[in-house]
A and B are shown apart, each in its own frame.
Chain A
Amino acid sequence: MYLIEAKGIEKRYSNHLALDDVSIAVPRGSIYGLLGPNGAGKTTLIRIINQITGPDKGQVLFDGRPIQPNDIYRIGYLPEERGLYKKMKVGEQALFLAQLKGLSKPEALKRLKHWFEKFEIQAWWDKKIEELSKGMAQKVQFMVTVVHEPELLIFDEPFSGFDPINVQLIKDEILDLKRKGTTIIFSTHNMASVEELCDHITLINKSRNILSGQIDEVRQSYGSNVFEVAFRGEPSAIESQLNGKFELLKIDTENSLPKAQVRLSSQAEANSLLRTLIPVVEIVSFNPIVPSMHDIFIQVVQEYNQKHGVVNS
């Protein structure tokens, strides 16, 4: 069951194609990573989902039916380039933005008070935005994005400008929102946080969707069946034992515990590898080597660009 689906979206600006037949499907209650190099078309896609601009072709489904203007009350959007009125007081501004999202004034006030307490920023209520640091302003931004408790949240680089403590605070909030059933689209260049948070990803490059799927499956599929075996025993014993049966990539003997990397032709061979090794060495650990999203990102984008003869600007 998908909360939001974009089908065959195409968007053209006067001199270039921003999105070319891009489709994504975001399962309800999941965190969906939207990845891609700068200028790939992520922001355009997000703007189309937010109905800020319309697609030239294709359609967006919300809750299984074409998206409607009123659906914006059910969406919260934290843009990458975000700002607030500098001269306005924090409390008034939060109240204004919450009301724009359809909350009544008393309801908005009640919920904001709660959030201000939660973030321990009650003292900021009467301060002007210009008196706050960047990180403080970001906190306020995050708060007004989620205050109307939307079903769909779209975060574009939510961690920029935060110190590690606040990054953790925001991460916890995001996971908490997910537990409450909120669907989250998450766009970032921070691959570590993608691995940590996302269930699904889509990689957009040069206006096209070049990779989509569940994050574990994506990582597995880019894993080339390489396993790492840590063992006690003679490295040479392993070398001779594997010779001709398995492809031994390297043996790392720098640490006290040597590690051998072996490529299998399929996952199913793991047992047979272990059977081969058990007689000669004592096995301490046995792990598949899964490529990081960081590596996959770079690999996929570079391969695509080479294939299509485009130079990565």
Chain B
Amino acid sequence: MNKILLIMQREFMTRVRKKAFIISTLLSPIFFAAIAILPSYLVSLEVTDVRTVAIVDNTMEFTNVIPSTDYIKIAYINDTPVEQLKGKLDEAGYYALLVIDSTGIPNQPALTIYSQKQPAIDVMQHLENTLEKEIETRKLRAYNIENLDKIMADVKTKVTIKSLKISKTGEEKESNTLIAMAIAYIMSFLMYMMVLITGNQVMQGVIEEKTNRVVEVIVSSVKPFQMMAGKIFGMASVSMLQIIVWVVMTAALAGVGINIISEKTAIKPSTEQMQAMAQADPQLAQAQQLATNTTNETGNTFINSLMNQNFPLLIGGFIFYFLFGYLLYAAMFAAVGSAVESITDTQQLTLPITLPLILAIIVMISGIKSPDGPLAFWFSMIPFTSPVIMLTRLPFGVPTWQLALSATLLVATFVLIIWLAAKIYRVGILMYGKKYTWKEMIKWISYKG
């Protein structure tokens, strides 16, 4: 045991000190976090500076209708001709100029915006939405309906389907299929990649030791099994460290990033304006208030269902399935590495190993649509595919007995495979000068110690 630890330690230290490891471990979270934050960040970018939109209302019907927001200031101008304004938008410090002209038909103004750059989407939306609402209200009012305010408030409807997952104990949780799918995709692919990459690294390490003839020296001090186990576990500890750094750093970075951005992006009409508007037009203010609330609610649903994902279970599941999935595959990769003398000889031999992994990814893509279907179920039980497929199912919720069965099968298979792989490894590392086949390698299993 002590020797396995020594070999693990050596493996760990040499890998962890490599520049490539340090860079990929520290930079990947920045990359992951960036992917998570980027969409919100890009949105936030457009509203960071205050822009003033000048409005010339030639109809005189829409004066003071459009409110200013934190980032969009509205200036109504009636003392300067349009032509003059158009010429000196920049000098006057205006971002855009909105001209409201009459078309002759009531409540149907001709709207034109002048700007030196394409006006930003948030500015356009703000102008359009406010005017749309104002005109709608005016048209409705023209019908002279009694108690219009009350009816309007009553009619205002927003439909959102709240999706709740009911657990066996009757507990209800907000869920979101899209979020579950996204998490399933990310976890399954990450698992697939990491098992394949680290498994290959183990194989390369074994080949290097064999061709260097380091094995000859070490094998007189330790049993080949200890050497192989030390290498595999050493590599596992390296990957675990990497995963933990990734999880912690990504969570921290993304958390901080989202906080900063969400504070910046909260677009709401400035409080002063709201108060002023409430006095001038209580009805409009109410509608505005309602709209703001709805937006907040949508955002909350997203965050709620994200938060309601059982993160301890997901992270725990990922670590467990990565650990044993990796160990299972690494043992097979180590056996292949022991039988060859150069990485170019491995291709035919690794094909049968990588096949189940590739199959798992194919099953994942269709299984993600019906995570409780028979396909996903069976492949989440088979130990060679369960590390990938169980992670596909996990965000959608998996019955405990299935999880337990799949985990037990995986551990049991790992024990069997590492035992067989050690028998191949033991013979393989001391065999030179020939390209061996799986048939021959399987024969080695029966060789006497």
Contact = CB atoms under 8 A, between A and B. Distances in A.
A77 B430 CA distance: 15
A97 B218 contact: yes
B278 to A, nearest CB: 73
A101 interface: yes
A175 interface: no
A101 B14 contact: no
Contacts of B443: 14
A54 B449 contact: yes
Interface residues of A, dominant DSSP: loop
A84 B212 contact: yes
A100 B219 contact: no
Contact of B3 (A47, A54, A81, A100): A100
A153 B10 CA distance: 26
Nearest to A89: B14
Contact of A52 (B213, B219, B448): B219
B117 to A, nearest CB: 55
**For the complex of A and B, 8 pairs with smallest distance between CB atoms:** A83-B213, A83-B212, A77-B220, A79-B216, A100-B221, A81-B213, A54-B449, A50-B220
A83 B14 contact: no
B216 A81 contact: yes
A72 B217 contact: no
Interface in B400-449: 430, 443, 448-449
Interface residues of B, number: 22
> For the complex, would chain B's binding face be called helix, strand, loop or mixed by DSSP majority?
helix
B221 A97 contact: yes
Given A72-B220, A96-B10, 5 more contacts: A47-B430, A52-B220, A52-B430, A87-B14, A100-B3
A79 B220 contact: yes
13 contacts: A52-B220, A52-B224, A54-B448, A79-B216, A82-B216, A83-B213, A83-B217, A84-B212, A87-B14, A88-B14, A97-B218, A100-B3, A100-B221
Interface string B93-106: 00000000000000
A36 B1 CA distance: 38
A83 B214 contact: yes
A59 B216 CA distance: 22
A50 B215 CA distance: 13
Interface of B: 3, 6-7, 10, 14, 209, 212-214, 216-224, 430, 443, 448-449
Interface residues of A, number: 27
B429 to A, nearest CB: 10
Interface string A68-95: 0100100101010111111110000000
Contact of B212 (A50, A75, A85, A97): A85
Nearest to B211: A83
Nearest to B446: A14
B442 to A, nearest CB: 12
Contact of A97 (B209, B213, B217, B430): B217
Nearest to B218: A100
Contacts of B448: 54, 56
Contacts of A141: 217
Interface string A100-140: 11000000000000000000000000000000000000000
A82 B221 contact: no
Interface string A31-75: 000000000000000010010111010000000000001001001
A77 B219 CA distance: 10
A312 B441 CA distance: 30
A99 interface: yes
A84 B220 contact: no
B214 A99 contact: no
A288 to B, nearest CB: 41
B223 to A, nearest CB: 8
Contacts of A14: 443
A131 to B, nearest CB: 15
A143 to B, nearest CB: 12
A79 B219 CA distance: 10
Interface string A253-278: 00000000000000000000000000
Chain B CB within 10 A, most for which of A14, A50, A85, A141? A85
Nearest to A69: B223
Nearest to B449: A54
Contacts of B220: 50, 52, 72, 75, 77, 79
A111 to B, nearest CB: 16
A87 B208 CA distance: 11
A72 B449 CA distance: 16
Given A53-B449, A56-B448, A100 B222 contact: yes
Nearest to B429: A52
A81 B220 CA distance: 13
- Most B CB contacts (10 A, CB to CB) among A56, A77, A83, A99 go to A83
B229 to A, nearest CB: 14
Contacts of A86: 212
Nearest to A93: B10
Contacts of A53: 430, 449
B321 to A, nearest CB: 32
A79 B432 CA distance: 15
A99 B221 CA distance: 9
A86 B213 CA distance: 11
Contacts of A77: 217, 220
A79 B430 CA distance: 12
Contacts of A85: 14, 209, 212, 214
A149 to B, nearest CB: 14
A32 B80 CA distance: 112
A99 B6 contact: yes
Contacts of B449: 53-54
Contacts of B217: 77, 79, 82-84, 97, 141, 144
A304 B6 CA distance: 47
Contacts of B221: 72, 97, 100-101
Contacts of A100: 3, 6-7, 218, 221-222
A153 B219 CA distance: 15
Nearest to A73: B221
